[in-house]
Amino acid sequence: MSEDRYLTFALGKGRLAKKTMELFEEIGITCEEMKDPDSRKLIFVNEALKLRFFLAKGPDVPTYVEYGAADIGVVGRDTILEENRNVYEVLDLGYGKCRMCVCGPSSAKELLQHHERIRVASKYPGIARDYFYNKKHQTVEIIKLNGSVELGPLVELSDVIVDIVETGSTLRENGLEVLEEVCPLSARMIVNPVSMQMEGARIQKLVADIRARQN
Ligand code: PRP
């Protein structure tokens, strides 16, 4: 494909995008206009390298990539699993490391042993369903929450939660603990399948440059 085509990146807003741009800088991919903290611009361009970047809500990143509105996305594995979009996951970026876990009070441990029908609160109903139904073969009632999921067991909305654990301090400060680990998480690079065909060389070089930095 011609070098004139822009390669478009969708980055999950916040800490992840900052980390990603730092990593990109190390391999010579910069975007000066993205560094202005007062900017309200949504799309940032590096004309010389024919690159475009935009920031999106994490759960929307796989959507932009599946539809080809972005060739490449960077987002947490939690979001990739939950959104279950038709994208290629090409690289573990190694940062944003944390774990998806089943958590609750220690008294809830035994509820996970005997296939009981329990209530599970989560911001990630797809991941929770897959874990309980397909891995544990336990029928559960899943209650979708949008944040502060640790409240679930504290106010008796649910028996346990499926949520992200990073340092563990939110759990500790609320008398909860990790009961089971669902999977490890970190930031991943995803690619639109058609872009992978059309822009394969540019994308593979990018992946190789990042890999070389990682080693
Ligand atoms: C995440 C996650 C936990 C917390 C875990 O929440 O859902 O609540 O961080 O981190 P820790 O193990 O270091 O305490 P986030 O801050 O994204 O807010 P949310 O609860 O509104 O989702």
Going from the Cα of 171 to the center of ligand 1, the distance in angstroms, rounded, reads 9
- How high does pLDDT run on average in the chain? 95
pLDDT, tens digit (0-9, with 9 covering 90-100), for 93-134: 999 999 999 999 999 999 999 888 999 999 999 999 999 999
State in Å: Cα 150 to ligand 1 middle: 9
Is the overall model pTM greater than 0.85, yes or no? Answer: yes
Q: Is the CB of 110 under 6 A from ligand 1?
A: no
CATH topology of domain 98-185: D-Maltodextrin-Binding Protein; domain 2 (3.40.190)
Q: What is the pLDDT of residue 1?
A: 45
pLDDT band at 3 (very low <50, low <70, confident <90, very high): low
Lowest mean pLDDT among 28-42, 131-145, 179-193: 28-42
Residue 6 above 60 pLDDT?
A: yes
If one residue of 98, 160, 165 were mutated to test the ligand 1 pocket, choosing by the most ligand atoms within 8 A of its CB, it would be: 165
Question: Which residues 6+ apart lie within 8 Å of 182 measured at CB?
Answer: 99, 100, 101, 102, 127, 131, 162
CB of 165 sitting under 6 A from ligand 1: yes
Q: Which atom of ligand 1 is nearest to the CA of 173?
A: 14
Domains of the chain, residue spans: 7-96+186-214, 98-185
Region 80-92: what's the mean pLDDT?
A: 98
CATH of 7-96+186-214, one of 3.40.190.10, 3.50.50.60, 1.10.3720.10, 3.40.50.300: 3.40.190.10
Whether 59 and 155 have beta carbons less than 8 Å apart is answered as no
How does strand 187-191 pair with strand 88-92? antiparallel
